[in-house]
Each structure stands twice: as structure tokens, then as C-alpha cells.
Amino acid sequence: MAGITTGKSYSSGEQVTAASLNLQITGAKLNSDAVDGTKVTVTSAGQLNVGVIDAANIGANAVTTDKILNSNVTKAKIENIADDRVLGNTSGGAAAPSEIALTTVSAAGFTPTTYNTEESIKLPNGLLIKHGRVSVSGTTHTHTFVTSGETAFGTVFTAIVSGEGSGALDCSVGSFSTTQLIANFHDDVTHLNYFVIGKIA
């Protein structure tokens, strides 16, 4: 069978007119053998009907971003990643996401630096912690926070102190500011432990 059935069939000796010639095209229909009958079929009205397109019929790199509806890529469609990893970008610039170890993520934003007898820890949300251990004598001590090459307090929220030594170890915070801590204690205290929480300037 021919792939197309014309809209007009002539009999022997029939006169050819403009109208009959036009009908050959305007009334023509596709036949089922004009297509493969699987991916593309022909309806009874002679119209093309496209069936299900499988992967073999889609060209490589043929599906672009704007062809995918928003919120239609499920988590199951993303490739499997190794255990204890998240997807992200720590390259310092724009880049495709890659696997990042959870230990790397948990450490991001923390900048611990040890100097003298004090340690300063900067948290991602702007909080700053200073803590350490210093030798003391008498019943009061003023400790000035080391700031050379380190992050300084902009605001101090609270301070905690404890004493080490023999005998009475009573210890309390006298006052604190963004630059120093004053502690009061029994004269048996030989070392002062402090823990100060504040915010970066």
C-alpha cells in the first residue's frame, strides 16, 4: 500500500480540473505504512500520532534545563553519594556541586587559634569564645584578653571562672568588658580558669 491516499482518484477518460487537482492534495491522507507504527502511528483520520518516546529516541545532551519543570527532579533521580557526605561547593568560586565530608562541613566557619595561654574560637554566627588558664596570686586578678593578631570582642555576654589550688577555691567574676576580665578568689587559688562568651565587633 502506498504511504499516502490521495484525495482524488481519476478514472480513465475523466476530465482533469483545477478543483480535482487541488483535492488530490487537500484531501490526501497518510496510510499506516507511511510510519513505523510503533513510535509514530496514523489515526483513522490520517493524522500522525506520536507514541511514547524512550531513551533510545532522545539524543545525547538533548534535554536542557528549561525543558524540566521546576520541583520535578526527585531526590531519587540524583546519583548516589558516599556515606557521610553532602553536596556543596567549597572551591571559593562558582562550580558544579561535589561531595563534601561531614567533618569538613562541621568545621567550616570555625577559626580556633592558640596563642599564649588563651584560645579564641570564632563561630559562624558571629559568636566569639575566649577561654584559658592563668597563674594567679593574692585575691584578685585582672586578665587582659590578648588581641594581637586575633579577633577582638565587640560585645561580651557572660563570663565564668573557676579556681585551682589547695584549700578554699572560692572564685567569682568581679566584672568584665570587651578587653578584660576581673576575678576575685580565695588566696588558696593558684590558677584561674576562665570562659568568656561574646560577639565579634
Which CATH number characterizes residue 185's domain? 2.60.40.3940
Per-residue confidence (pLDDT) for residue 105, from 0 to 100: 67
Question: What are the 10-residue block averages of pLDDT along the chain, 201 residues in total?
Answer: 71 84 76 71 77 82 91 91 89 90 68 58 83 93 84 93 93 96 96 94 78
The SS3 of residue 21 is helix
Based on the fold, state whether residues 118 and 72 are members of the same structural domain.
Answer: no
What is the span of the domain harbouring residue 35? Answer: 4-50
Per-residue confidence (pLDDT) for residue 10, from 0 to 100: 79
Per-residue confidence (pLDDT) for residue 199, from 0 to 100: 93
Number of domains in the chain: 3
Q: What does the pLDDT look like over 98-113, one tens digit per residue?
A: 998 877 766 665 555 5
Based on the fold, state whether residues 39 and 74 are members of the same structural domain.
Answer: no
Based on the fold, state whether residues 59 and 88 are members of the same structural domain.
Answer: yes
40: phi then psi, degrees, rounded to nearest 5: -130, 130
End-of-domain residue from the set 106, 129, 147? 106
Based on the fold, state whether residues 33 and 79 are members of the same structural domain.
Answer: no
Per-residue confidence (pLDDT) for residue 117, from 0 to 100: 53
Based on the fold, state whether residues 11 and 44 are members of the same structural domain.
Answer: yes
Q: What does the pLDDT look like over 154-163, one tens digit per residue?
A: 999 999 999 9
Cα–Cα distance, 86 to 50 (Å, whole number): 41
196, 22, 201: which is closest to 121 by C-alpha? 196
Per-residue confidence (pLDDT) for residue 188, from 0 to 100: 95
Cα–Cα distance, 20 to 135 (Å, whole number): 113
The answer to pTM > 0.85 is no
Per-residue confidence (pLDDT) for residue 189, from 0 to 100: 95
Per-residue confidence (pLDDT) for residue 122, from 0 to 100: 81
Based on the fold, state whether residues 39 and 70 are members of the same structural domain.
Answer: no
Per-residue confidence (pLDDT) for residue 179, from 0 to 100: 94
